[in-house]
Amino acid sequence: MSTGLKVAAFLFTLLLMGCTANPALPEATSTPEMDDGRITYEEMVVGYSQIGAESNWRTGNTASIKETAVDLGVELIFDDGQQRQENQIKAIRTFIAQQVDVIGVSPVVEDGWESVFQEAKDAGIPIILVDRRANVPEDLYATYLGSDFMEEGRNAARVMVDLLAGEGKIVELVGTVGSAPAIDRAAGFREIIQDYPDMHIIASASGDFTRAKGEEVMGDLLQLYGDEIDAVYAHNDDMAIGAIKAIEAYGLQPGQQIKIVSIDAIRDAFQAMIDGKLNATIECNPLLGPQFFDLALKVVNGEPVPKWIPSEEGIFFPEDAAEILPTRRY
């Protein structure tokens, strides 16, 4: 091959590498060299108020936001609310004072946001809701990126109906009281099982989406109901994993004597299914960083976006867990 052909082949290889790198990242709609009046990723300043780090799901969600910001060159001002709404409200007001271009927030609960969201609107700073909704008028936020929590609850109930053959006593481990996923996952589950008169939720208690609280609450429920319990419906995998520990400590076999269905599809849930201790997990995708920053850039540049962008999610069972586990990123 001539020297000229070798150089051409080398340049073509580099071009192919550039086209295939970071396929999950959103494409920039303009570059710093394009002076068209649009803000680029490198020019954008984003304030992000995260709930905290209550679960492996949330840790994965935070990592996705931070890693994508670095990959895109976005200036990200990140705040951990530590499960307290007052901390998140304070962070949003700080973002407003810093005159960020856009604010992302995962509200710890649904109510109590209208005043601070109005302050952001008055300052001309759009808000994007991520993962959880806020109970505010639609004109106070640009868009909501997140799951269909009602459908997650329905899917969990459909699986439970099959596991129990339409008959059994269920205890429910509820997420953070007042949060969007806890409200909707409870409602969706009940919507389905109301058609099965021999299936009953005999008790509900909040485990606040954490393993430790899930274990504690399940221990209490076992003391109250013991062998009456046929199944556990947990609003997230972390609480389910806590419940598994409590069930084993009580002397029963999780996944066998007590069926368990939960939501999130974290890596530890797949391991629990492999171990025969969890019967199914309903996916709730936390890897929202690329979608969030793509939306943020569009919103800042005045492009229209849907009011709700749902995530694509699936349902996973023990028979597929061993094959799928190595592919899970959270």
Averaged pLDDT in 10-residue chunks for the chain of 330 residues: 39 34 45 64 98 93 97 98 97 98 97 98 98 96 96 98 98 96 97 98 97 98 97 98 98 98 97 98 95 97 95 92 94
Tell how strand 315-316 and strand 75-80 pair up. Answer: unpaired
Counting Cβ atoms within 10 Å, is residue 27 exposed (0-12), middle (13-18) or buried (19+)? exposed
> What's the CA gap between 72 and 70, in Å, rounded?
5
CATH 3.40.50.2300 is the classification of domain 41-147+286-312: yes
Amino acid 187: pLDDT: 98
The CATH architecture one would assign to domain 149-284 is 3-Layer(aba) Sandwich (3.40)
Whose tokens are 């009940």? That residue is 190
Close Cβ partners of 3 (under 8 Å, ≥ 6 residues apart): none
Contact call for residues 116 and 60 (beta carbons, < 8 A): no
**Tokens encoding 209:** 């989406």
Amino acid 25: pLDDT: 56
Predicted TM-score (pTM) of the model is 0.83
Q: How far is residue 257 CA from its own chain's centroid?
A: 30
Amino acid 177: pLDDT: 96
Compute the CA torsion angle 37, 38, 44, 48 (nearest 10 deg): 130
Amino acid 297: pLDDT: 98
> What's the CA gap between 79 and 155, in Å, rounded?
33
Amino acid 31: pLDDT: 40
Instruction: Tell me which residue of 188, 99, 191 sits closest to 152, measured CA to CA.
Output: 188
Sorted by where each begins, the domain ranges of the chain are 41-147+286-312, 149-284
Contact call for residues 219 and 245 (beta carbons, < 8 A): no
> What's the CA gap between 163 and 152, in Å, rounded?
17
